[in-house]
Copies of this chain bind each other. A is one copy, B any other.
């Protein structure tokens, strides 16, 4: 495997896969469409998870764990829901293997066939609401604010590492409320939490909006989303929060007695972000040298590379060790790469590929001058610092890189967001790439026609109010909504 990745300009999809594999973020599992998240990729996921989990707990949510298996019959209780998921369900039908007669291997034991087949959760509304039915009797039992971090299976046909895999990791919040107002407020609160963590921790600028009927979650009344622009100007849906109304409460007959002792159906929300966010980080920030990680979620924030010949080895290594402990004491995540088996140049490339925000080089000359050479991964800039300076400057440097990456991504999105004046301009834009901010008449047929002609979809509705004086980009009728159209992952 060559050291370098395919340039983005040559083949963006190939660049993406190259980065995932060469930065050792993930690998292909033995079953088609499955993914192995390697330690470096998983450490990024742990950082993302910790950031979200903290906010979930701060907003009053608790974690729990619901079973992987859903009885087949549960899936069809909510009509839209089963419609949305039936075509991608992994189904468990048997519970035993036995040796083949010729002893060469194993086969499924036909006697172990289940009476009712089990679906591996593609999402957990159905199994969770079957439990909420048991837990909810009175308004005193509400709200229920539960989240779970679990694996999910959706038998997708076209898969790509992190972006769309048959199994992925996510969190799914499932809340139950006494009133519609409270449930709607929860839906909005959580999309705001998603926005904050995406922007503050992942340095990922996002647009918050509402999904169209065609794009909303199967079983939801309304789906809110955060949408981000990737390096190829396509959109990536990065998180969704659903107001489910009473749909699942009715499907699973979940009622409660309110303070006036009247029996009512419960209101629901659900919301999720997944390992897809790692794909978003790769594509929003990566360049032709590989990953560029925002310091807040970087497993290693600064790597120290000692540069020495045989006669200076001990001295240089000693100095880098000392520096590493001084920098660790600032709270930063530091790696001293003291491998003897590879050259400094090899190390530079490797840590660039892995997107480490700051590289610190220390050689015999630096040692004499009590300086270090610092390279920023975001700008490529090289700076010389005294030993004292780097210790006090590192936290600031990391903050600068964090906000620098955010600003670069936001500027890129702004520079590639247009308000096309007519249908020809719109089509041209969808060919060259970018977000179109324009009017839509709200008709699903218009949406389908636009998708058919350009592959672009409504990424999100920017405002539920009808915009004044704006026309639909396709039909020319008065626009019902101001929306973002784009090609999407």
A positions within 8 Å CB-CB of B: 27, 29-31, 34-39, 42-43, 45-46, 62-76, 82, 86-99, 105-108, 112, 117-120, 127, 130-131, 134, 140, 146, 150-151, 153, 155, 166-167, 169, 341
Contact = CB atoms under 8 A, between A and B. Distances in A.
B108 A169 contact: no
A153 B39 contact: no
Contact of A91 (B45, B95, B130): B95
A39 B62 contact: yes
A31 B106 contact: no
Given A92-B90, A96-B87, A97-B75, A67 B35 contact: yes
23 contacts: A27-B131, A30-B127, A31-B70, A31-B118, A34-B68, A34-B69, A37-B64, A39-B64, A42-B63, A68-B151, A72-B108, A76-B106, A82-B97, A82-B106, A86-B97, A86-B106, A88-B96, A90-B92, A90-B118, A92-B120, A94-B117, A108-B117, A150-B151
Given A97-B82, A127-B30, A42 B69 contact: no
Contacts of A146: 39
Nearest to A130: B30
B68 A167 contact: yes
A71 B108 contact: no
Given A63-B42, A64-B38, A66-B36, A30 B71 contact: yes
Contact of A63 (B36, B46, B87, B140): B46
B155 A67 contact: no
Given A68-B151, A90-B92, A97-B86, A36 B131 contact: yes
Contact of A76 (B34, B43, B105): B105
Given A30-B74, A96-B89, A42 B66 contact: no
A105 B73 contact: yes
**Copies per complex of this chain:** 2
Nearest to A91: B94
A43 B29 contact: no
Given A38-B64, A42-B64, A68-B167, A95 B106 contact: no
A89 B95 contact: yes
Given A30-B74, A30-B127, A151-B151, A91 B68 contact: no
A35 to B, nearest CB: 7
B167 A67 contact: yes
A153 B29 CA distance: 19
Contacts of A36: 64-67, 131
Given A46-B63, A89-B96, A94-B117, 12 more contacts: A27-B131, A30-B67, A30-B74, A39-B146, A42-B65, A43-B62, A45-B65, A67-B167, A68-B167, A72-B106, A90-B118, A92-B120
Contacts of A153: 68
Contacts of A169: 65
A188 B43 CA distance: 26
A22 to B, nearest CB: 14
Contacts of A68: 34, 120, 151, 153, 167
A426 to B, nearest CB: 36
A242 to B, nearest CB: 21
Contacts of A75: 97, 106
Contacts of A130: 30
Nearest to A144: B39
A71 B64 CA distance: 30
B91 A97 contact: yes
Given A64-B38, A88-B95, A29 B105 contact: no
Contacts of A341: 140
Contacts of A89: 95-97
A72 B86 contact: no
Contacts of A73: 105
Nearest to A117: B108
